[in-house]
Amino acid sequence: MKRLTCTLLATLALASPGRAVEPISPDLSKATTRALLENLSGLPPPIGGPIPEKEHLELRLPLTLTIQGGQEFKGTLSELHEGRIYLRLVQEGGEVILSFPVEEIEQIFFPGGSIVHETIEKVNAGELSEALPYLESIIGARYAFFPILAPENLSFYRALPLTALAVDNPAQAIAYIKAIRPYLTLPEDQRELDDIELLSYHRLELTEETRERALRWIDGTPERFPTSALGFYVLASLQFEAGEYDEALDSALHPIVFSGPIHQPYLKHCYSLAIVSAYILKDPIELERLTTEARERGIEWQPQMVFAAADKGLEEFIITDAEGNPLPLIPDESTEDSPLLEKRGSSNHPAPESDNTL
Amino acid sequence: MQPDDCSDSDFKLENTLASNLLSSPKFPFTPTSKRFRHFHISTSLHSKISSFEEAVGHYDSRYSMKPFRVIKRAICAWLFVIAISTPTLTHAAEATNASLTLRDVLIQATASFQSGQYSQAIQFFEQLETTFGNEPQMKDPAIRRIILPAWGYSELATENYSGAIEQFEEYLEEFPEPGNVHSFVLISLAQSEHWNGNLTKAAQHYGEFIQTYPRLPETPLAALNQVDLLFQSQKAEEAYVLSERLFQSRAPGPLRAQSRLRALQVRLEDGERDQAAELLLSTEWSQYELPNLMEMAFAALQIGDSFMTEEDYHSALRSYRLVPPYSALLDYQRQQLQRVSSILGYRQRNPTSTMDSVWLAYYATLVSRLETQLEALESMDDYTPGFLLRYGQAFLGDGRSREARILFRNLALDDTLDSAICQQAHYRWILAEFALKRWDRTLEVAIDFQDRYPDSALAPDALYLVAQAHQEQQKYRYAIKVFDELIERFPDHKLAPRWLFTRGFNLAMLEQYEQSRADFELFARTYPGHPLTTQGSLWHALTHHFEGNYEEALAELQPLAESSRDHFLYPEIRYRIATAHYAIQDYDTARPEIEKFLADFPDHSRSPEAVVLRGDILMGQGELILASAAFAEVTPEADGLFPYAIFQRGKIFKALEMYDLMIDHFTDYLDREDLEIRPRMSEALYWLGWAYLQKGNIDAALLRFDQAFAEYGDDPAATEILPMISSLETLRSELLRNGDQALPDHSLFAAGNFSAWLDDQILLALESNRLTWYSRLKHFQANRARAIGQIELADTILQEIDEKVPLERLDPQVIGQIGIIYSAAGYQYADAYFDYILANYPDHPARAEAWFGKAEILIEEEEWEDADDLLRKFEQQMPLHPLSPQVNILRGRILTNLGFYDDAEKSFEEVLTRKDARGIPHARAIAGLAEMNEQRGNPKRAIPYWQRIYTLYRAYPEPVAEAYFRSAVLFYEIGDPTAAIRSLDEMFKDERLLNSPFAAKAIALRRELQEEMDTLPAPVDTPPSTPVEIQEEPAS
């Protein structure tokens, strides 16, 4: 504790992360949503509802801070300011606030490891709406520490916007992305946040923002054989919706051209869009080639809502499976749900390096 | 424990021992990886391997030796048990080795074996055999059951395979019952035979293993080895069967995939491409986590290339799809090496069964193989760009030009790639755009190619594509310029003959027939015997045909037909001969010609046209009934010719006054249900009504007209609606004039006059929201106003229509008329009207108005070439359109501006030959000739044209005022200010001209001239300039 300073700051208020006052509702108008998203800072109000009180309190128990030399301190965060952590410790006769230079902290041990672990399991099992309140509670307790935590230990939180998307609140997902993006600096985290953000804007039908992000997504994909076709799919889908079928076909074809034996996420979406665009453009050769190729490559047909936007008739368009059974053009109850986000590479969400040490 | 205790229950004891040993906290592990090390050393000495195939070729398929620790541990334990339980022997054998007892030797053998000193262990085993071989203990099966595998293994470890084989075979002979050690010995024997070069025997032992132990985890591995050995022993058929059996089994995916890959590779090596491709393309490789993806990728590349050679682009694409890019393959290979190395390490650290050594050998071999391949991969050049060029070519060949375009563009614009690759990709990008018929883009990309790679060997090919793109866009002048450049820069290029030929073709398209013929003649002289010779001669003849010189055309076509009987164009030449005879009204010759053509070439693409031509010829001969029968042969499959034939028949019945037949004919046509497209239906209804009128069946006629109005009146695409309204007007006036019959009970006759009926109909149309019908009725009103000279009223009515009716509800003809009003007023938005017509009614006659209007706008913008393209189309497709004189005038102006003065002159002269263009159009054509001569630098020739205007067209003040002023300017320019003043003074005498925009300019010029004259000395009787005299026709 050679440079550790001990300060009594009884009046120091606990620095809580800035939260917007009103929760983001999926029922808001586009204009309001747009304005809301532009002005958001910090964590948005949670939307997933409460978790059991016991777990809530467990997550908010004092954390353990280990400094160089191995000495441990148990307390709650008072403030993080100018490179120092101010920890509130309960001592006989009252409270004491100790401050520690961030660079001298070796480890922070957060309580509630088992809750985190179970939440990860929920996420990996696809129980996203169930995971959402836990994730919100966890991040609520730990967000203030994000600036000093290693990005490797924050990857786990990229599940949070995804869970918001799962409860059909893309605006909330975007708000979460805004809140966590500055700290999740690993390239794979940034890529996934880009993906979720793009999907969220697309779901919100904020066309201009979506197009801009889809183009940025494509520009930010330097590799010739992209590991995901999401940006191309979203752009093609916007173009299709706008009646720009030629452009839609070109955008959808890009990842099709640059796809190998391992099918990247959203490739099947691109195939479906390309097939329907070729049909509308009355390009029988392209239509036949794409349909045959999709079958040969085992790429399943992907019904899409955007096909309903075709201003030229698709009434006579029939696509069938290998047995000749007609396939739906627009998703219906019989259509299997696609995963919320088709992920590149590993399908599981990363866990913190240790269950409870971040 | 005594050895005898376990002699009858090997399995149980061995398992017990094994499990005891496995639970031992510190299992002694003494690797004997001599072979493995050797492999490493030898591979490290490999020279750089330039390709994967070579790497595969150098693959050493022998397994690396690894200790089979569990079985070894078991054997050690037994040896130890035997050793300590053996009493001190006092035997005769001790004489030969007095210092060692059986027990001593056993203990030492155990120690050597355990410590991995296999050579020494072998010595002790041999000593046991030679010294104590006759001892009863040594003959005890329980002891031999242990010693033989240990000895065999020691021999194997020291690479003495025949020694190992001897021990293992002896064991199997003495102990044939299945069991753990048996399975181990059997598979080790197979390995020993393999490494000893006895491939057949090795395969046989693997087979025995598979048969004896069908469900062991090692069984698929044995099967894979067996397949491999059978392939190496040239027993391919047996190997294929076993490989397929393994692939279809429930074995682990990587083993199954490797088995199939091996079969694929052998098929490929044996030249059985199709079978190899079948294996390649019917396997979903991504399912199996194939460890050696590189081998599959290169096989796919090879097969894809082979399909490309055969132009089977679809299969090539399917194969190429399996080839990852170099960087991805490198990553995959590294990951696989890391993964397999981890598995190997894990298995080494965590033995689980007596068969561990088999797996260790498998993984060790795989690691070596992956290392070798990775080394080869790392040292080779990136194959991706070259591969992608072929991949793109496959897309292009498969008719997927969009995909090819995406790929080639991506490569061409990648400045990290080698310039040669970019250049190739760029060129193919042009090809892809060309294939997509995106002419603008083709040009853009091709011109960019020229800029980037001006000295490229592909430059002429790229330029040729540019020329072709211009040609496809009907920008023939541009195409000709490019051909000029090509012919000049690359006269010896292999495509030079084609360039010359195509330039001739383009000149023909520009109606520059003389130059065109010159090119075809030059072509014939320069390249005799060229495959395009007949085409050249045909086009040479056709230029005469196009000029209307049918006799000259025939003079060339007939000998050409004689000399081209075997040429594919022979039927075309014959057809052209018939049309030429028809054109000169030589029907008696034309008829047998076309009938012979139809008899000789019934399936030729010209046949439908020939059938129609035969009908026309018969009509020309006056054989109307025969002509009707000929037209009746034309079927709906003949597309546009079918309605033509229908209406020709109608025309025949009309000419023959066979109104009943006419009624039947058009009724049949209207009632047909087999037509997908029903062209000119409203026109048919019109003629049907007309025929009823001729029959005096007024009610039926009115019924048909009403039907037409009801069904088609509100259909924007319907034609002939206005003639029907016009017919009603005529009908009404005729019936009222005759006055001798009862008028039909129809609103037309209930109205006070036709205009009132029209007004009623307009109101009704508005009330019922039949806006198209409303616009047509108003259009009819506008035409009536125009016909009586109320031009402004006509224009106002059209603008009223535009205000009330949305564009999509308007008849395209009306849209065109409105557009032209706006365009003449200088409103740029007129363009939207024309674009709408061209986008929605590309085949409608109103496209003429659209082209005309757009051309006017383009001329204002000085986009001369684009304007000319539109007007040329107009001229070619609508030569009889009422706007065609104006089109000629506009084209003349354009050609003047482009510097094609001769063509401009022809265009203006064409107007002057047309009687229907007398008046203002003639005046404008003459003005055009004057301007053309001015621009040509020939003011003396221009002046008489201006004079001609103010002399002959005084009825039109505006052109007259301009003519005076322009002639005055020219007089001044040629140094004759007096004549200039005279012209201006004459102009000022006509008061009508003082309101012209030219008046102010003329006054200014007059003042300037006067000032100049005042400074000059008095003229000395200078005769006025005498411009060239031009004979003129009087203005109408």
If you average pLDDT over residues A50-72, what whole number do you get?
Answer: 90
CA A278 – CA B403 distance, rounded (Å): 12
Which of A257, A275, A283 is the best mutation test for B, with the most CBs of B within 10 A?
Answer: A257
Task: Inspect the interface and report whether the beta carbons of A289 and B399 lie closer than 8 Å.
Answer: yes
Residue A332 lies in a domain: no
Chain A residues 58-117 within an 8 A CB cutoff of chain B: none
Neighbours of B178 (CB within 10 A): 12
Nearest CA distance, B322 vs chain A (angstrom)? 5
Is the model's pLDDT at A191 over the cut of 60?
yes
Nearest CA distance, A253 vs chain B (angstrom)? 7
Give the DSSP letter string of B423-491: HHHHHHHHHHHHHTT-HHHHHHHHHHHHHH-TT-TTHHHHHHHHHHHHHHTT-HHHHHHHHHHHHHH-T
User: Within an 8 Å CB–CB cutoff, is residue B323 touching chain A?
Assistant: yes
Residue A111 lies in a domain: yes
Tracing tokens 């006055």 back to the chain, one arrives at B739
Query: Quick one: closest CA in B to A226, which residue?
Result: B328
Task: Inspect the interface and report whether the beta carbons of A225 and B407 lie closer than 8 Å.
Answer: no
CA B335 – CA B234 distance, rounded (Å): 34
CA B494 – CA B460 distance, rounded (Å): 10
User: Would you state the pLDDT for residue B143?
Assistant: 83
CA A42 – CA A17 distance, rounded (Å): 6
Chain A residues 235-264 within an 8 A CB cutoff of chain B: 249-250, 253-254, 256-263
Query: Quick one: closest CA in B to A294, which residue?
Result: B318
Task: Inspect the interface and report whether the beta carbons of A260 and B403 lie closer than 8 Å.
Answer: no
Nearest by CB to residue B399, choosing from A250, A259, A285, is A285
Nearest by CB to residue A286, choosing from B322, B400, B410, is B400
CA B947 – CA B1030 distance, rounded (Å): 10
Backbone angles phi, psi at A66, to 5 degrees: -110, 130
Structural domain boundaries in chain B: 1-30+68-158, 387-442, 819-1015
Q: CA B752, B757, B763, B764 torsion: positive or negative?
A: positive
User: Would you state the pLDDT for residue B13?
Assistant: 30
Per the model's pLDDT, the better-predicted residue between A287 and B33 turns out to be: A287
CA A105 – CA A154 distance, rounded (Å): 17
The reply to whether A68 and A134 lie within a common domain is yes
Is the model's pLDDT at A198 over the cut of 90?
yes
Burial class for A322, CB neighbours closer than 10 Å (0-12, 13-18, 19+)? exposed
- Coil, strand or helix: which one is B1027? coil
Tracing tokens 């229509």 back to the chain, one arrives at B801
The reply to whether A124 and A172 lie within a common domain is yes
User: Would you state the pLDDT for residue B916?
Assistant: 81
CA B926 – CA B949 distance, rounded (Å): 7
The amino acid occupying position B886 is Q
User: Within an 8 Å CB–CB cutoff, is residue B322 touching chain A?
Assistant: yes
User: Would you state the pLDDT for residue B304?
Assistant: 95
Backbone angles phi, psi at B746, to 5 degrees: -145, 145
Distances in whole angstroms, Cα of residue A250 to Cα of each of A132, A246, A254: 38, 6, 6
CATH number of B819-1015: 1.25.40.10
Task: Inspect the interface and report whether the beta carbons of A260 and B399 lie closer than 8 Å.
Answer: no
CA A278 – CA B66 distance, rounded (Å): 59
Residue A150 lies in a domain: yes
User: Would you state the pLDDT for residue B93?
Assistant: 43
Q: ipTM of this predicted complex?
A: 0.83
The reply to whether A94 and A243 lie within a common domain is no
User: Within an 8 Å CB–CB cutoff, is residue B286 touching chain A?
Assistant: yes
Residue A351 lies in a domain: no
First and final C-alpha spacing in chain A: 22
User: Within an 8 Å CB–CB cutoff, is residue B284 touching chain A?
Assistant: yes
A chain contacts of residue B323, beta-carbon cutoff 8 Å: 260
Task: Inspect the interface and report whether the beta carbons of A256 and B403 lie closer than 8 Å.
Answer: yes
Nearest CA distance, B407 vs chain A (angstrom)? 7
Backbone angles phi, psi at A90, to 5 degrees: -90, 125
B chain contacts of residue A273, beta-carbon cutoff 8 Å: none
Nearest by CB to residue A261, choosing from B286, B317, B400, is B286
Burial class for B874, CB neighbours closer than 10 Å (0-12, 13-18, 19+)? buried
CATH of the domain at A274: 1.25.40
Q: Who's near B961: CB < 8 A, 6+ residues apart?
A: B987, B993, B996, B997, B998, B999, B1002
Is the model's pLDDT at A29 over the cut of 90?
no
Distances in whole angstroms, Cα of residue A152 to Cα of each of A350, B500, B545, B743, B1018: 9, 69, 81, 97, 103
Dig out the tokens for B973 from the structure.
């320019």
Model confidence at A180, in pLDDT bands (50, 70, 90)?
A: very high
HSE-CB for B36 with a 13 A CA cutoff: 19
Q: Who's near B793: CB < 8 A, 6+ residues apart?
A: B782, B785
CA B754, distance to chain mean position in Å, is 58
Task: Inspect the interface and report whether the beta carbons of B328 and A225 lie closer than 8 Å.
Answer: yes
Residues of chain B with pLDDT under 50: 1-68, 70, 87-98, 1022-1036
Q: Tell me how long chain B is.
A: 1036
Chain B residues 489-548 within an 8 A CB cutoff of chain A: none
Q: CA B580, B584, B588, B591 torsion: positive or negative?
A: positive
**Where do the H-state alpha helices sit in B213-355?**
219-232, 236-248, 253-269, 273-281, 293-309, 313-320, 326-349
User: Within an 8 Å CB–CB cutoff, is residue A21 touching chain B?
Assistant: no
The reply to whether A113 and A177 lie within a common domain is yes
Task: Inspect the interface and report whether the beta carbons of A224 and B410 lie closer than 8 Å.
Answer: yes
Nearest CA distance, B69 vs chain A (angstrom)? 36
Neighbours of B490 (CB within 10 A): 17
CA B219 – CA B281 distance, rounded (Å): 27
Tracing tokens 């009222």 back to the chain, one arrives at B736
Query: Quick one: closest CA in A to B407, which residue?
Result: A257
Which of B389, B391, B403, B407 is the best mutation test for A, with the most CBs of A within 10 A?
Answer: B403
The amino acid occupying position B230 is L
Backbone angles phi, psi at A65, to 5 degrees: -110, 125
Dig out the tokens for B699 from the structure.
């009610």
Distances in whole angstroms, Cα of residue B150 to Cα of each of A105, B112, B169, B722: 59, 11, 13, 109
CA angle B450/B452/B456 to nearest 5° reads: 65
User: Would you state the pLDDT for residue B1002?
Assistant: 92
User: Would you state the pLDDT for residue B1019?
Assistant: 54
The reply to whether A153 and A232 lie within a common domain is no
Radius of gyration of chain A (CA): 24
User: Within an 8 Å CB–CB cutoff, is residue A205 touching chain B?
Assistant: no
Residue A166 lies in a domain: yes
Percent helix, strand, coil in chain B, to 5, is 75, 0, 25
CA B971 – CA B962 distance, rounded (Å): 14
Quote the strand ranges of chain A, DSSP E.
Answer: 5-7, 63-67, 72-81, 84-91, 94-101, 105-109
The reply to whether A133 and A44 lie within a common domain is yes
Give the DSSP letter string of B391-421: HHHHHHHTT-HHHHHHHHHHHHT-TTS-HHH
Q: Who's near B77: CB < 8 A, 6+ residues apart?
A: B17, B20, B21
**Where do the H-state alpha helices sit in B713-753?**
721-738, 747-750
Dig out the tokens for A177 from the structure.
């992305």
Mean pLDDT in chain A? 84
Give the DSSP letter string of B271-285: T-HHHHHHHHHT--G
Nearest by CB to residue A224, choosing from B286, B325, B395, is B325
Residue A303 lies in a domain: yes
Find out whether B480 and B503 touch, Cβ atoms under 8 Å. Answer: yes
User: Within an 8 Å CB–CB cutoff, is residue B676 touching chain A?
Assistant: no
- Structural domains counted in chain A: 2
B35-44, Cβ contacts within 8 angstroms, sequence gap of 24 or more: B35/B62, B35/B64, B35/B65, B35/B159, B36/B64, B36/B65, B36/B66, B36/B364, B36/B368, B39/B64, B39/B368, B40/B368, B43/B368, B43/B371, B43/B372, B43/B375
Domain around A246: 225-309
Residue A333 lies in a domain: no
Which of A267, A270, A289, A300 is the best mutation test for B, with the most CBs of B within 10 A?
Answer: A289
CA A271 – CA A292 distance, rounded (Å): 11
Q: What is the dihedral of CA B8, B10, B16, B18, to 10 degrees?
A: 160
Find out whether B699 and B741 touch, Cβ atoms under 8 Å. Answer: no
Instruction: Report the candidate in B1002, B934, B944 with the shortest Cα–Cα distance to residue B968.
Output: B1002
The reply to whether A157 and A301 lie within a common domain is no
Tracing tokens 């016909």 back to the chain, one arrives at B787
Instruction: Report the candidate in A152, A59, A107, A157 with the shortest Cα–Cα distance to residue A353.
Output: A152
Query: Quick one: closest CA in A to B322, which residue?
Result: A261
Residue A330 lies in a domain: no
User: Within an 8 Å CB–CB cutoff, is residue A344 touching chain B?
Assistant: no
The last residue of a domain, from among A289, A309, A329:
A309
Find out whether B766 and B774 touch, Cβ atoms under 8 Å. Answer: yes
The reply to whether A239 and A302 lie within a common domain is yes
Query: Quick one: closest CA in B to A299, which residue?
Result: B284
CA A84 – CA A139 distance, rounded (Å): 21
CA angle B396/A296/A320 to nearest 5° reads: 110
Chain B residues 386-405 within an 8 A CB cutoff of chain A: 388, 395, 398-400, 402-403
Which of A223, A224, A249, A296 is the best mutation test for B, with the most CBs of B within 10 A?
Answer: A224
